[in-house]
Amino acid sequence: MIATITAIVAGLNELQNGQHVAPRLDENDEMELALVGFSMSTTVGSHVANLAPTDPQIPTPKVLVLHEPAGYKRGMWIWWLKTHLPLEPGDLDDIDPDTRLVLLIAEQHNEDEAPGELPHTPAKIWNATPQIAADNRIAWTIPDLDDGPTVIPSDHLGTQTHEQVNGIDWYGYWLPTTAAIGNLFGPRPWAWPTIDYMGIWQHPDGTTTAQAPRYETPGFE
């Protein structure tokens, strides 16, 4: 975490040197910050948000957007995560209750959960942040596209694969992310953006399939 905090602070300082797009300040002249993470880094981001209220170097994030939280149930980093970045009740209590929390989950999340079981790492983060009001947090599943001649899966490695188009690529992550951040930092009062369109995929035979997210909240507990 020391290296992470050092890197964030260095980046924020760089943005303020007058040679880049200036960071936006709120009515209290505090920098407006959004934290976005993927996979294991969602746990890191959650703990950065947990440290921010007591660390004067880090602005308290306004929104936490977590892409495919994973790594807390299986994988080579599981011991390290559980030891250094735990997600048990009480471990994220210092996250500001006014923070907005957005969870984006691939249809084929695959943390060995049984059918109908909630994905393990997203549920751990969700249940460790009860101080965030229901109106300030939401979870979306980015579904597989399987109603056309070509099945387009939505899975954890969608951003890394070069073998085929994946349902979580591009709009799958970025449309909900930019909508949440833009809505929060835009001129309108806060409200969850309604997202019922995430692009149209064209199959080899010329037919098309529209994609939309599936809302998972309430009920994550």
Per-residue pLDDT reduced to its tens digit, 65-123: 998 888 887 667 788 888 889 999 999 999 999 998 988 888 877 666 665 566 788 88
Token reading at 16: 């303020």
Please give the C-alpha separations between residue 64 and each of 7, 35, 61, 165, 207, in angstroms, as whole numbers. 18, 5, 7, 27, 37
The boundaries of the domain holding residue 60 are 24-215
Contact 60, 99 (CB under 8 A): yes
Residue 10 lies in a domain: no
Q: How many domains does the chain have?
A: 1
Q: Are strands 100-106 and 137-142 parallel, antiparallel or unpaired?
A: parallel
Separation of first and last alpha carbons in the chain: 28
Residue 18 lies in a domain: no
Whether 197 shows a pLDDT value over 60: the answer reads no
Residue 220 lies in a domain: no
Predicted TM-score (pTM) of the model is 0.81
Residue 53 lies in a domain: yes
Higher pLDDT, 161 or 42: 42
pLDDT (tens digit per residue) in 35-47: 999 888 999 999 9
Contacts of 152 (CB under 8 A, 6+ apart): 144, 145, 146, 164, 165, 166, 167, 201, 209
Residue 195 lies in a domain: yes
Length of the chain in terms of residues written: 221
Amino acid (one-letter) located at 206: G
Query: With b meaning 16 or more CB within 10 Å and e meaning fewer, what string describes 59-79?
Result: bbbbbbbbbbbbbbbeeebee
Residue 52: pLDDT band (50, 70, 90) is very high
